[in-house]
Structure 1
Amino acid sequence: MGNDDERDLVRRGYDALSHHYRSDDADDGQYAPWLADLHRRLPASAAVLDLGCGCGVPVARFLAAAGHRVTGVDISDVQVERARRLVPTGTFLRADATRLDLPPASFDAVVCLYSLIHMPLADQPQLIARIATWLRPGGWLLATVGNTAWTGTEDNWLDGPATMWWSHADASTYRSWLRQAKLTITTEDFVPEGSSGHALFWAQRPQQS
């Protein structure tokens, strides 16, 4: 399967499973403490980029309600259409995050929760390096990534009518990629899920001296 086929599988999967994956009125769930922590770290009216924003719930919805300026990016047309409706003060783009071209030092934070792992593995270190350039000095990256390495698909994901695809490295590899991007890792946690789980990183672009 080529990279474009994999991207298309993810796009079609979330187009089909958008409402199945998260309802319009879903609560913040496990995201709640992460988002509260992010809000505490941000200046007022911060510019935040949500990569893999989905339907805008809960990340963009929470941040917009807290007074921040949110830009969301997702590969799924259905997800982006829902995000524009559910978070009308946000700006949402239908795009492949690995092919984004954004101005340097334009965001106070980048959020990438459960989305990097849907992107081709070869593109992930380069995207992390670009994220580091999009952050302002002192800006934060909040990301969930793989804890153990795995690439594969699951048919009828979430008991829904579509196949989903993932590709991720292990936590130590992501640690290395973040450091290569000149980001300072301040926290690394394990987020359990079923019999496995994900790694959660807080990483900061150093302040200019």
Structure 2
Amino acid sequence: MTPLEPPTAAAGPTDPTDVVRRGYDAVSHTYRTDDAEPGQYARWIDALLRELPASAAVLDLGCGCGVPVARALSTAGHAVTGVDLSATQIRRARALVPGAVFHQGDATGLRLPEESFDAVVCLYALIHMPLERQPALLRRAVSWLRPGGRFLATTGHTAWTGTDDDWLGTGATMWWSHADAGTYRRWLADAGLAVTHEEFVPEGDGGHTLFHATRTGERPASAPAGP
């Protein structure tokens, strides 16, 4: 089976997933340059690196252009698999991080063997996925983790769904949908994760919540790809 299943419905110009895909195609280089510094990601990546075994297998959901997460993990000797909606982002990732493996597609349709990763990372990506599909993706992500595997993600801090028709001043439209931090805390626990660290990450007038978590001994229930 291929790791990415085809969508169950045809995407169109008003489909939120397609809006996100086309948005990142348009803003890829504006959003992050090839030589961008890790910035606030550095502390998060360093914390994850301290928890990983040698030559770990890491899944990066919403990997973007591979900078900085996939590049840092690959440079440290870990086997990274990245998934992103944007063809432009994936093309850049393959060039910028040649030691990793990248797939273009919708993470909510991802199918992978159980217990095949030591860590799953999902930074600033879950918040671009349809809200009703997020709990099922979290359950599947936990099933891909080995017992004791690590999960690192940014989520919404307050609930909001909406668009920006001039994102980053590029004229591109971007779409977001996220619940509040308490809801994500519950979804993570229901999926079989024990939160080990949580913090507010400010951005503009608002912000996000960063979660570090570990897979518990409980096996998460299986879930369909769609809502």
TM-score (structure 1 length as normaliser): 0.97
Q: Which amino acid aligns with 2:216?
A: P
Please state if 1:127 is matched with 2:137: yes
Q: Confirm whether residue 148 of structure 1 aligns to residue 158 of structure 2.
A: yes
Distance 1:97 1:3 in 2: 16
| Residue ranges of structure 1 left out of the alignment (5+ in a row) | none
Distance 1:163 1:35 in 2: 29
More helix by share: 1
Contact 1:46 1:107 survives alignment (8 Å): yes
Q: Specify which of 28, 31, 34 is matched with residue 21 of structure 1.
A: 31
Matches within 5 A, 1:49-68: 49-68=59-78
Query: Counterparts in 2 of 1:155-174, with a 5 A limit?
Result: 155-174=165-184
Q: Give the CA deviation at 1:207.
A: 5.0
Q: 1:76-130: per-residue Cα shift (whole Å, max 9, x none)? A: 0000000000000000000100000000000000000000000000000000000
Aligned to 1:7: 17
Q: Please list every run of 5 or more consecutive structure 2 residues that lacks an aligned counterpart in the other structure.
A: 1-8, 219-227
Q: Which amino acid in structure 2 is aligned with residue 78 of structure 1?
A: T
Give 1:22's aligned amino acid.
R
**Residue in structure 1 matched with residue 48 of structure 2 by the alignment:** 38
1:72 touches 1:93 (CA, 8 Å); kept in 2? yes
Secondary structure of the structure 2 residue equivalent to 1:24? coil
Q: Cα RMSD between the aligned structures?
A: 1.3
* Alignment match of 2:208 (pick from 183, 198, 204): 198
Distance across 2 between alignment mates of 1:110 and 1:3: 28
**TM-aligned CA deviation for residue 195 of structure 1:** 1.0
Tell me how many residue pairs correspond in the alignment: 207
TM-score (ref. length: structure 2): 0.89
- What letter matches 2:22 in structure 1? R
Return structure 1 stretches of 4+ with deviation > 2 angstroms. none
For 2:186, which of 176, 190, 209 is the aligned residue?
176
Please tell me the residue identity of whatever aligns with 1:90.
A
The CA deviation at 1:3 is 9.7
